[in-house]
Amino acid sequence: MMIATWNVNSLKIRLPQVIDWLKENPVDFLCLQELKQDNEFFDLAAFEEIGYTACWSGQKTYNGVAIISRTKGKDVVRNNPLFEDAQQRLIASTYDSEQGPIRVINVYCPNGSAVDSDKYVYKLAWYKELTNFLKSEMSTYQHVILTGDFNIAPEDRDVHEGYKGDILISPPERKALQELIDLGLHDAFRLFEQEEKSFSWWDYRMMGFRRNAGLRIDHILISDSLKQICEACWIDKEPRRLERPSDHTPVVADIKWDLIT
DNA sequence: ATGGCCTTCTTCGAAGGA
């Protein structure tokens, strides 16, 4: 089973790139963030044409998440039931497998803007309730994948040397991510040897990608049951080289797991 | 090297992103 996450920064603009990427990388799940379009504009037919279905939670201009999958999921949850939020940043769905149901939770965590801003306060509150939601999900489901754009670089090695900001790396943010991981999740990327200076996002400005001035903020977190059978996790930098790319690029995990299709 | 880019809309200037 292959699962990928990709913040596409407007699905309207990036749809052809997403379809092309799926043809080249026929993953079982592709979790998208920052659709930036309302639900009625989600082009399900474009995915059906290449053998996928989807569930989504869109929003005009900002946010919006979708799970593209081979089979239709069930028990779809849009937004965290523990956190009243007009912003569409979470979608979860359950898929059948030989080993029992697997819960896929796709998140677009708040950016936070600047440390101590209102948006930063919102980010930390959002994370706190995400942790409470995950606690509940993990008591219901044994096999859980929490993936998406976390807008937090877990460690200093996930941050390019010239990074000047505090946001995305501040201790309270990292603590919030750690509390989530402490529920019994594992950063799939760090289960394996990786190149130094591996990032998943690069600023459009200042030739960020060419200088490899990036951050690793897109993650695939997997439950204990999936850790031992996770065979690989990598960042696919190819889409970042395309004309008019998203500023994020896909992260992919390969897990030895048999879905029912 | 955070001013410098990209996307969106209440669109030609501003907000948000990270």
- Across the 261 residues of chain A, what is the mean pLDDT of every consecutive 10-residue run? 98 97 98 97 98 97 97 97 96 95 98 94 97 98 98 97 93 98 98 97 94 97 97 98 97 94 80
Q: Which nucleotide is nearest to A247 (CA to C1')?
A: B6
Query: From CA A66, how far away is CA A54, in angstroms rounded?
Result: 7
Q: What are the angstrom distances between the C-alpha of A257 and each of A3, A102, A219?
A: 11, 10, 19
> What is the phi/psi pair of residue A173, to 5°?
-65, -50
- Position A225 scores a pLDDT of 96
Residue A11 (CA) to nucleotide B7 (C1'), in angstroms, measures 11
- Position A22 scores a pLDDT of 98
- Position A260 scores a pLDDT of 84
- Position A261 scores a pLDDT of 80
Q: How far is CA A157 from the centre of its chain?
A: 19
Footprint of strand B on the protein (CB under 7 A): A 7, 9-10, 12-13, 34, 36-37, 60-62, 110-111, 113-114, 119, 149, 151, 162-165, 167-168, 201, 203-206, 215, 217, 244, 247-248
Q: Which nucleotide is nearest to A111 (CA to C1')?
A: B18
> What is the phi/psi pair of residue A127, to 5°?
-65, -40
Q: What are the angstrom distances between the C-alpha of A208 and each of A16, A75, A146, A204?
A: 24, 40, 28, 6
Please tell me whether residue A152 adopts helix, strand or coil conformation: coil
Q: Which nucleotide is nearest to A204 (CA to C1')?
A: B5
**Active site amino acids of A:** 108, 149
